[in-house]
Structure 1
């Protein structure tokens, strides 16, 4: 009876050994890459904010509309500011230098009159001085002529100063009123929110009648045709990322398809919360239709080799050992690896058979 038991046991062991999975290494290509995920953004995408507080009076656009740089998006109620601008316009017209040319002409006339009087009084004083030298006339008459001449001379100088002061005052008043008008015009323009770029209105967060504040975005606007991929890369992998590296992209909106892209920018500061860096990429050939905030997964390709020996990663023991079909353990040297396979540099050939290690 024991003889049959031994034979059965040996047969059982042999059957178990036969059932153990075996494979031979394959010759194929392998790509070493870094996983990343992120969102698609429209190029130059930005949030439009208001610089003033107020009630939205008009919404000029709808979501999906195409706009040009400078096109109005929102108008905010600004009755008070409009009155301020009108007042500034009145002040600017009143203070305009050309409109006050009459005052300067009057001042010039005063200068001419003072000059004429000064010259006349100077002539009379000279004549009186000549007569006095001939001992004609009195000293009192000479002194009176001299006093009148000096007075008219001072009046002439005063007229010139008054003209110059008036001109400076008018220049200043004109410039000040124009600057005030510019300020009020700028403030009035702040009540009209305009697009900073040509593109598409992707979202509107406010409607007519709602309050617009300086802290809440009113709209999201971005490029209609150019998109970027914003990826989060772990801090442990970031040193391997370089500009120009190829990226294989899988989009939730295009299941089963892979799109090619390339790294264009590495933001140099780490997000302390996620311990990751923002890496940007652009499509080599973009999908037919894209929208901002579509999620994606990506593989940033670091290296690729063709026609190399590969084995499944689960056939490797302690990162450096495999089990041959005869049960012998063999140390190997490995190279590139992906999620499923690993490159064998030396230790076995493609003709060897390997056993899958027991789990």
Structure 2
């Protein structure tokens, strides 16, 4: 009898314990403000920030700037050793000087004198030939004399034509040599300019990656330059990109300012997705910014899609497949949802404030 009583009490205790441990969490909808947003990660970068690369391979001979220095557009940053190219440039200068068209006009003057002389000979031989031709028509003189005068005339005519042709050829060759030598000098100077790495913008030198004496191979940036203004680069998942528009408010949190929240707005969205990360890039600017910023500071962001006041909401963990909730007793109830954030979901229809639902 005592054994049966103990067994009965143990069973009652077990049933009570089972009932207590299987009691599911429940709640009722509440009226709250809800904000739908898209999560994004990102980092801070200087406006117009770019990586500086040397165009040629060689030893870095001179560094003209320091980290933190302000630079003007076109200001020299690095000098790469270019002794061989400097010699080539000097040679090109000499050739260009020697081949300059204006410095070779004496050659054209000589050619013009040759033309004048040939013209005088042609006039003289032409008159002699005409005189001999008139005499020959009157049977005066010999045929040999006539033919000799005609031959002299034809020879002078050919010499005159040749002198003019030589002049034109010489003029064209001088112009060609002058133009080519100037082009070769310009090419040599451009190549020499490649050995001086210059700033592309007015900005600030944020980082220098090389030291004097190191070799530049053009594979890695030698410096990073940007302006003193900062922008936010955001990475947005492809499933959220259709919700993003220019002008949307962005809430920013940074590890560097853990206790503070900053605001920004979206200014641009890149139309091409990054295949590797399956994400899109967007840029934002601060509308209220920290007192001090540095490039490459990491951040987390929430891009505000829309906000609704006094919405009927339930915790997101109570929604099933974005369509159903579970009533007390386990029955499923279909609902129409609206805005969602990371904790709440708006209920448009299907249940009201008095409906008790349980955690599925």
TM-score (norm 1): 0.86
1:47 alignment counterpart: 51
SS at match of 1:249: strand
The match for 2:268 among 265, 268, 283 is 265
Is the deviation greater in 193-202 or in 283-292?
A: 283-292
Aligned length: 344
1:257-294 Cα deviation digits (max 9, x unpaired)? 22222223333333333222222222234333322111
Q: Is the 8 A contact 1:330 1:347 kept in 2?
A: no
Kindly provide the CA deviation profile for residues 74-115 of structure 1, in whole angstroms up to 9, marking residues without a partner as x: 000111110100000000010001111101000000000110
Contact 2:56–2:194 (8 Å) recurs in 1: yes
Aligned to 1:157: 161
Cα deviation per residue 1:27-60 (whole Å; 9 max; x = unaligned)? 3311111111111222221111111111001101
What corresponds to 2:113 in structure 1?
109
Paired residues of 2:338 and 2:345 also in contact (CA < 8 A): yes
SS of residue matched to 1:321: strand
* SS at structure 1 position matched to 2:259: coil
Match of 1:252 in 2: 255
- Trace 1:155-304 onto structure 2 (pairs within 5 A): 155-225=159-229, 227-304=230-307
- Aligned equivalent of 2:148, options 144, 160, 177: 144
Q: Pick from 320, 334, 339: which aligns with 2:337?
A: 334
TM-score with structure 2 setting the length: 0.86
Gap regions ≥5 residues in structure 2? none
CA-based RMSD? 2.8
Unmatched segments (≥5 aa) in structure 1: none
Q: Say whether 1:75 aligns with 2:79.
A: yes
